[in-house]
Amino acid sequence: MKKRVLFFISILFVVFAQAQVKKQLVNNWLVALERKDGKQVVFQLQKKQEQGRAVLYIMNAAEKIKITDLKTAGDSMFFNMPAFESSFRVKILADGNMTGTYIKGTAAGMQYWPLHAVLNMPERFVASLGNAKKNITGKWDVTITRANGTIRKAVAEFEQKENELTGTFLTPSADYRYLDGIVTGDSLKLSAFDGDNIRLLEAKIDDANTISGGIFYNGYTGKETWIAEKNDSAVLPEASEPTQLREGESKLNFTFKDINGLPVSINDKKYKNKVVIIQVMGSWCANCLDETKFLSGFYKDNNSRGVEVIALAYELTTDLARSQASLMKFKKLYDVQYPMLITGAAAGDDKKTEKTLPQLTAIKSFPATIFIDKKGNVREIHTSFYGPGTGEYYTAYKNKFYETVDNLLNE
């Protein structure tokens, strides 16, 4: 009798556990965005009720992007990303799946990506080739071949737990943020979506030290090949022709209007005898978003020490209203208290540096950070940024940043 009772209890436990899993999965979708070539980039979307209202979360490894700008009408759902010109228009079908369009703003206009989403799919990728044959945790020396045949170098950091794979790629200027995926058999897949970056990486794992046949699908049409070799001592290559002061120059001289149309100049009394950090950024750039989060917190903690921050925005176009709306998202998301100025030059303009900061050589990467001492002299220019998805690299970045500011304050 006791055995029968225990058996009955165990059955109830299994049923309850299954019900709980099903309950947890409700309003979880695997979303597939379709590129121009038909290749699909997937990510996970979760819907929750918080404080009596519906919110969405986009999941990329350790990152959870919260979406509160959400509207529903009948069987339709409309939502905007908290940053970037990025929005969704979807229809919820009778079976709970979704179909619709992802809309992304670009310099050339709006992109419209077809999408479909499957309800209650907890896994980003299916282990179609079974368990992982190799564990690729560690640092990898990566060679990426562009469509035109030229080479660029990167470093990959992977962390693998059984079939689950997370990590990032680091280039001389920035990182690929949070990549999330799988190792199944001798193959790997990683993807990410954050409203700016839409990435899919695939490759074959030849052995514990070699990855080959990689394809990197980037954005709507970008496609490159890549290979990698395991190398725990891999280092990032130096940036090619990093931004620096032109010969004979020592100070910047600019005046631009902020989001509200008010002029701000580096020569304003507010910045005299202060250490000033110039953030060269754009509201279309996810790495700039990571830097903005860091700088916003830093400014609140250190402004009283005699530190000021000014953001100089190079937007997708010279459309003022569009630039203001996009930058306002950044300001609101991280409660940015320092001025964000609109330079009026588009990020893709080859003459943007000459038009806005002629004291510098060409600005080639975003974000970049310029450190100005108490006398108004440019002391350092950092043209690389590695964010919270990079672990030890982010720690090293912050340490270098703090050290630079402290040294300037102590002069």
pLDDT of res. 122: 84
Strand partners, 47: 56
pLDDT of res. 9: 38
Q: How many CB atoms lie within 10 A of CB 265?
A: 14
Rounded Cα gap, residues 75 and 72, in angstroms? 7
- Please count the CA atoms within 13 angstroms of the CA of 19 that sit on its side-chain side: 6
Output the six-digit token pair for 356: 């806005």
CATH of domain 255-409: 3.40.30.10
Q: At what angle do helices 286-302 and 320-334 cross, to 10 degrees?
A: 60
Among the listed residues 83, 53, 58, the one whose alpha carbon sits nearest the alpha carbon of residue 70: 53
Among the listed residues 301, 251, 272, 293, the one whose alpha carbon sits nearest the alpha carbon of residue 402: 301
Residue type, 250: S
**In the chain, which segments carry CATH 2.40.128.120?**
26-119, 138-230
Kind of pairing, strands 222-230 and 255-258? unpaired
* 26-119, CATH topology level: Lipocalin (2.40.128)
**Greatest Cα-to-Cα distance within the chain, rounded to the nearest angstrom:** 94
Output the six-digit token pair for 96: 């709970």
Cis ω before 367 (30° cut-off from 0): yes
Contact status, residue 179 vs residue 170, Cβ threshold 8 Å: no
pLDDT of res. 43: 98
Output the six-digit token pair for 319: 């459309």
Rounded Cα gap, residues 215 and 165, in angstroms? 17
Q: How many helices (H) and strands (E) does the chain have?
A: 5, 24
Strand partners, 305: none
Among the listed residues 207, 173, 214, 210, the one whose alpha carbon sits nearest the alpha carbon of residue 190: 214
Q: Measured between alpha carbons, how far is residue 26 from residues 100, 290, 332, 368 in Å?
A: 19, 31, 30, 42
pLDDT of res. 233: 95
pLDDT of res. 289: 97
Output the six-digit token pair for 379: 């002391």
**In the chain, which segments carry CATH 3.40.30.10?**
255-409
Q: Does domain 138-230 have CATH number 3.40.190.10?
A: no
Contact status, residue 307 vs residue 338, Cβ threshold 8 Å: no
pTM of the prediction?
Answer: 0.91
Give, in degrees to the nearest 5, the angle at Cα 20 between 18 and 24. Answer: 120
pLDDT of res. 27: 87
Residue type, 256: F
pLDDT of res. 14: 38
pLDDT of res. 237: 83
Residues of the chain under the 70 pLDDT cut: 1-26
String of b and e for 190-219 (b: at least 16 CB within 10 Å)? Answer: bbbbbbbbbbbbbbebeeeeebeebebbbb
Contacts 24+ apart (CB under 8 A), 101-108: 102/33, 104/195, 104/198, 104/220, 105/284, 105/316, 105/322, 105/326, 106/316, 107/316, 107/317, 107/346, 107/347, 107/348
Among the listed residues 275, 407, 379, the one whose alpha carbon sits nearest the alpha carbon of residue 399: 407
Burial group, residue 7, by CB count within 10 angstroms (0-12, 13-18, 19+): exposed
Residue type, 277: I
Rounded Cα gap, residues 228 and 201, in angstroms? 12
Give me the count of residues in the chain: 411
